[in-house]
A and B are shown apart, each in its own frame.
Chain A
Amino acid sequence: MPQEHRLILKHIDQPGYTPDIECYLRHGGYQVLRKVLSLQPKVLPDGRVLSPQEQLRDEVSRSGLRGRGGAGFSCGLKWSFVDRKSGKPIYLICNADESEPGTFKDRQILYKDPHQLLEGMIIACYANDVHLAYIYIRGEMAEGARILNRALAEARAHGFLGKNILGTGYDLEIYVHRGAGAYICGEETGLIESLEGKRPYPRIKPPYFPAAFGLYGCPTIVNNVETLAAIKHVIDMGGDQYAKLGTPNNTGTRIVCLSGQLRRPGYYEVELGKVTLGELIFHENFGQGLRPGRSLQAVIPGGTSAKVLRAGEKFRIKKMVPGGPLVEQEVDLLDLPYDFDSLIAAGSMSGSGGIIVLDDSADIVEALANIAEFYAHESCGQCTPCREGSLWMAKILYRLTHGQGRACDADELLRIANNIPGGRTICAFGEACAWPVQSFVAKFKEEFVARGRAAEARRASPAGGAGPSTQIKIAASPAL
């Protein structure tokens, strides 16, 4: 029976649960922090001594926790890259710039249970010798910033933050920094640039890997809100226990955000790999299916940056056979387990956890035009392919959706989109703006071609005519 496994969202939305610290403490809050701060160095059988920080980092590595922000990169591995020998201070930044369309999970934690995030963050800071941390929250969440600042003040008042936390001699200060309305501030180096007060132009890697040269040139860890909230649970249960949740290499739980043309959109916390996409969309514990009389057309499984999956598509992925090893099978879209690896094997990604469902009433060309306009608007403009390509694709899609398309526009879109991702841009925004176009046009080619052909036919007919168009010199045949 597929159902939620509320770990992070355990208390959120329960009646009477408020964001203040008293409520959090009543529900056993900050006990994990106390435990963490009282850890002693451990002597191993071979004589090596593990400091409390090393033990904590070990737990996180053993838990197999993967980043919940979009990339799904192993958290323990990310922490291990930090340059601890440079002598420079190490910073930790909580990425609360939740801007991926279709994602609304971090705001639940920020607005309804900020202390869970803070506890996880303080533990993460302690584990990495961080004494100054920031929460970068998107500018649109003004109320969220207020809630966080209030929570920070409460934590300070109770001695969980500030100098000499709980008398252990560990200092940590956390500040909230508000963004100013740019999606690119969700990119870790773009976020760091914005935090430094500059325009959020992502940095080139190499050499500016945040683990070595991050905020102010110092080693920096950037983690998502949900990841940091999960840290608390990892340490609470122990890494090995946490790893038992979910499936191998896709451990733990994750909050998925179901949206689109469903009966019951919303956010649900599930164990990774234990529910399928079909269950998330149709099961009564989750999306409860489509509206009456509608059939599924497409699913975007990881926020609009992820490649779209068409209804009825089959994928060859390695699936766990009951009682046996991993076997490569052909799996239908709806039977895809919802976890990082399966979705990557299906040619998409789990991304930020936002699942957008499109039924057959959705106009695919309009949907892609909407997505492309977003990316054209949000491109920072630093590097050539994304800056020019994103607007070009948006303009072509605008033409297609306003009756001025051409039959060759579908191939044009693919050709342009193929020139943007794959290392040709500074940051992953190139992939983010190109993958939707690549996947929509490739999988729904007939829609785009038909739209273009219809427009051409209308123009060619005596009644149609060219119409007032400030846009283009409409060629009867493509330019080449």
Chain B
Amino acid sequence: MIVRRDRLTIWERLYLTAIWGGLKVTFRHFWRTVVRRRPVTVQYPEEKPVVPPGYRGAPYLVRDQTGRIKCVSCQLCEFVCPPKAIRITPPGPEIDPTTGNVEKRPRQFEIDMLRCIFCGFCQEVCPEEAIFLMQDYSLTGLSRSEMIYDMDKLLRLGGVHLDPIRKWERKAREAQAQETVPPTLP
């Protein structure tokens, strides 16, 4: 392709014009910050920026409104995590009566926050809506091992997430209603 190079006008060739254009920007910022007192900066940490909804902060695990840990240890997030920050220990074959019909809950769930790139893939892939990237963006620790959050910490930070569907309870209720086998309609 042929790039046309237009010949610059006399004003454009003059160096001072460019300087004037730059000074205009400077003056605009000066006016905004000093006179109108609306700086672009924020006095962190006394002032904190407003984090919009949908912001991809640190991933945490949640409980539903009945206090059940929503994660069922399907390990999809572990698989999809690009930097392999998530490490899950599955529960193993011992039948845990506290899980009820959900049957599965992770024995251990660790996220290495130093590896996490906050991409949100784990939240996107989770079939149980158990992990969410929340508003936390500043994570600090004094050692690398401190930055590996285990399940207790993740649940504590994650809090409660309202689940309107209640899939597992609903399944349990339907199964109970069909106690007679073979059931007749309905």
Contact = CB atoms under 8 A, between A and B. Distances in A.
Whether A associates with B in a native complex is yes
Interface of A: 373, 376, 394-395, 398, 402, 470-471
Nearest to A471: B186
Which 6 A-B residue pairings sit nearest by Cβ, starting from the closest?
A398-B185, A471-B186, A470-B177, A398-B186, A373-B185, A394-B185
Contacts of A395: 185-186
A402 B185 CA distance: 12
A470 B174 contact: yes
Given A470-B186, A471-B186, 10 more contacts: A373-B185, A376-B185, A394-B185, A395-B185, A395-B186, A398-B185, A398-B186, A402-B186, A470-B174, A470-B177
Output the residue of B174, B177, B185, B186 with the most chain A CB within 10 A: B185
Nearest to A402: B186
A367 to B, nearest CB: 16
Interface residues of B, number: 4
Nearest to B177: A470
A202 to B, nearest CB: 20
Contacts of B177: 470
Contacts of A470: 174, 177, 186
Nearest to B178: A470
A398 B186 CA distance: 7
B176 to A, nearest CB: 10
12 contacts: A373-B185, A376-B185, A394-B185, A395-B185, A395-B186, A398-B185, A398-B186, A402-B186, A470-B174, A470-B177, A470-B186, A471-B186
A402 B186 CA distance: 10
Nearest to B165: A473
Nearest to A373: B185
Nearest to B182: A377
A373 B185 CA distance: 8
Nearest to B173: A470
Contacts of B174: 470
A250 B144 CA distance: 90
Interface in B93-134: none
Contacts of B185: 373, 376, 394-395, 398
Nearest to B170: A473
A376 B185 CA distance: 10
A380 to B, nearest CB: 13
A372 to B, nearest CB: 10
A69 B102 CA distance: 50
Contacts of B186: 395, 398, 402, 470-471
A317 B110 CA distance: 75
Interface string B152-186: 00000000000000000000001001000000011
A394 B183 CA distance: 13
Nearest to A469: B186
A394 B185 CA distance: 8
A7 B185 CA distance: 44
A456 B110 CA distance: 49
B169 to A, nearest CB: 13
